[in-house]
Amino acid sequence: MTLPSAPDTAAVHHELRGGVLVVTIDHAPVNAINAAVRRGLIDAIDAADANPSARAVLIVGAGRGFIAGADIREFGKPAIPPSLPDVCNRIEACGKPVIAAIHGAALGGGLEVALASHYRIAVEGAKLGLPEVQLGLLPGAGGTQRSARLIGAQAALSLMLSGRHVGAREALRLGLVDRVGQSDDVFNEGLAYAHELIATQAAPRRTKNARGLADEAASVAAIAAARAETQKKSRGLLSPLKIVDCVEAALNLPFDEGLRFERERFLECRESPQRAGLVHAFFAERETQKSPETRDAKAREIRAVGVVGGGTMGAGIAVALLDAGLAVTMIERDDASLERGRAHVEKVYDALIAKERITPETKTRALQRLNGATHYDALADADLVIEAVFEDMAVKQAVFAELDRVCKPGAVLATNTSYLDIDEIAASISRPQDVLGLHFFSPANIMKLLEVVVPKRVAADVVATGFELAKKLRKVAVRAGVCDGFIGNRMLAVYRAAADHLMEDGASPYQIDAAVRDFGFPMGPYQVIDLAGGDIGWAARKRRAATRDPNARYVRIGDELCERGWFGQKSGRGYYRYESGARSGKPDAEVEAIIDAERACAGVTPRTFRDDEIVRRYMAAMINEGANIVHEGIAQRPLDVDATLVHGFGFPRHRGGPMHYADSIGLANVLDDIRAFAKEDPLFWRASPLIVDLVARGENFASLNRSS
């Protein structure tokens, strides 16, 4: 349900309707609260108090929702009064009953406005939440104090620590709202509620006086449990523990003191690099969805999709498509392979059922949309086909020749190749304009990243279709140009090489992994290799052997392990030892002996590295290659590199991505590091021309994001 916005251009307008002062927040697209909205709200409440004809106040949002929160774009800029806490206090102090009528998003500061109101009604489709934690913040406009008083410590903590959104019905159950509207007509529902309150002479009912914390023992227990859980889980994040502290303050301090306590903690979070990193990540993942093609062209319609190949990747892609409600036809070369493909799909769903993420019925419904065939003619009606067969140019071209033969005109023909030249694939068929890369990451139904790889001859509407598909699959699409490894895997190859150099020079793989984890990655590079299978990288290294610069440093340790059949978890040994199917490995003295032997072979005298030295090299390699990728136009902007690493490679979100991180520590410092490392290995550590240029001009990567 969408409310029309008034012709008036003010961010907040109000008018008297039969004794109710209707206050409309009208700040497209999501009614984020900026200085104008804050001012407008205060003026409206002042007007209500001053007008004897106004007997109640109704706050509604114009457009698709109530209020999405404070305007995140204002963070980091000089604060303009009034502050949102002052606005909320003013609303709460209003002498007339104030009703918040909620449709769409009432998030963060938006929900805080509603909590400061005296009565709340929501309609179906409303999404309420306090998601500040996801931006490195805590609710800073009384949200920690009012939510705990309104719905109790446990429910408030769960809402704020998860940042999750709740629907109207759950909000009613929790006590966040007083009622759910009969219809989705938020305005009339709100107005009717206001008239009812006027008729019953209902007085303002202030949340600061609510009794949700009255059971002191239960509150104390909930706070202690949340603190213990948060200490275990929050991995260096600032705001979660502060949220717990604020709820404790709500229990122990008078309201006004609690508000002051909250404000101090909020400001500490707002000024932290974590907040800057998380807000950057928020905008980056929205910006990446915009490409020249999505601006200029309309996506083709996608209903039926084909997937060629039922291996791990093909099956994962099929699940991602099925989960988006699409009909999928899987093609395999014979019945046995098709059966295996289907079994792969079932296995993915069974694992989700075992973890209670889905019900068996969901699996049944999804599988009803899955068809299989051993002949390409079954793809005659497909709107889009994604090829996920063996990584070999001849094999892929053979598949595309078949697709060219059977697919209807206008069908989008996509390859999931990780590194092959898509221009060459496109050039091999009669309709290169329909060919693009859709590079999924394993497991394809889970990983958020989708690289939309844009070959030279592709039509704009085909690219737009790739982005539209990503939206349907709820993935973060990043536009990438054609090169070996596109954005993500190309960077991975370089920062892994930096890790290998560190290992050969004296750091153990276990120290490197630990240092990288401490930086915030969920796993270190050698744990990842063991998880994915060392044979994958080994095959890639063999493929590149012929074209490798003979002068480039090459570390043979990984090859040595693979030659012994130590591929990682699946073979019980890799960089780590995995006892009887265990998923976490133990350091292996034999691996260390192999490393020692390789060091001796390479004539390296091992030295020690501090953890921060490891991270500096690892990050400098990543940043430098990211800069090359932007410089060559493979990524549109630094933020595309950031989103790729955050959503596909476990880069810690609170650091924003490698390019944002580079800016945060100073690009000139990164350049100094690269030049210092170059003294040992000038071939590997060649400073990207983009970094050199930006530093010379006193600019940073963010300046390139802004100018896009």
Q: Which is nearer to ligand 3H9, 137 or 454 (CB)?
A: 137
Closest approach of Cβ 65 to ligand 3H9, in Å? Answer: 6
Q: Report residue 267 CA to chain centroid gap.
A: 24
Closest approach of Cβ 71 to ligand 3H9, in Å? Answer: 4
d(CA 590, CA 187): 71
Q: Rule CB under 6 A: which residues touch ligand 3H9? A: 29-30, 32, 68-73, 84, 105, 107-109, 112, 131-132, 135, 137, 139-141, 143, 283, 286
d(CA 77, CA 123): 35
Closest approach of Cβ 107 to ligand 3H9, in Å? Answer: 4
Q: Which is nearer to ligand 3H9, 135 or 307 (CB)?
A: 135
SS3 state of residue 679: coil
Closest approach of Cβ 109 to ligand 3H9, in Å? Answer: 3
Query: Where are the alpha helices (H) located in 533-657, listed in sequence order?
Result: 534-544, 557-563, 589-601, 611-631, 638-648
Residue 645: name the closest of 659, 633, 634, 631 by CA.
Answer: 659
**Structural tokens at position 352:** 């989700």
d(CA 175, CA 148): 11
Closest approach of Cβ 254 to ligand 3H9, in Å? Answer: 21
Closest approach of Cβ 105 to ligand 3H9, in Å? Answer: 4
Closest approach of Cβ 260 to ligand 3H9, in Å? Answer: 14
Contact 555, 538 (CB under 8 A): no
**Structural tokens at position 618:** 């690892």
SS3 state of residue 481: strand
Residue 219's contacts (CB-CB under 8 Å, 6 or more residues apart) are 148, 152, 153, 154, 213, 251
Q: Which is nearer to ligand 3H9, 69 or 485 (CB)?
A: 69
Question: Is the backbone of residue 510 left (phi > 0), alpha (psi -120 to 50) or beta?
Answer: alpha
**For the stretch 541-569, what's the b/e string if a residue is b when 16 or more beta carbons lie within 10 angstroms of its beta carbon?**
beeeeeeeeeeeebbbbbbbbbeeebbbb
Q: What DSSP assignment string belongs to 339-407?
A: HHHHHHHHHHHHHHHHTTSS-HHHHHHHHHTEEEESSGGGGTT-SEEEE---S-HHHHHHHHHHHHHHS
Residue 704 DSSP code: H
Closest approach of Cβ 442 to ligand 3H9, in Å? Answer: 26
Q: Which is nearer to ligand 3H9, 286 or 548 (CB)?
A: 286
Q: Which helix (H) or strand (E) holds 568?
A: none
Q: Which is nearer to ligand 3H9, 97 or 638 (CB)?
A: 638
Q: Which is nearer to ligand 3H9, 73 or 298 (CB)?
A: 73
CB-count exposure of residue 125 (10 Å: 0-12, 13-18, 19+):
middle
Which residues are identified as catalytic?
112, 132
Closest approach of Cβ 416 to ligand 3H9, in Å? Answer: 26
Q: Which is nearer to ligand 3H9, 93 or 514 (CB)?
A: 93
Q: Which is nearer to ligand 3H9, 468 or 625 (CB)?
A: 468
Q: Which helix (H) or strand (E) holds 183?
A: none
Neighbours of 605 (CB within 10 A): 8
Q: Which is nearer to ligand 3H9, 64 or 517 (CB)?
A: 64
Strand order in the sheet with 56-61: 12-17, 20-25, 56-61, 98-102, 119-122, 179-180
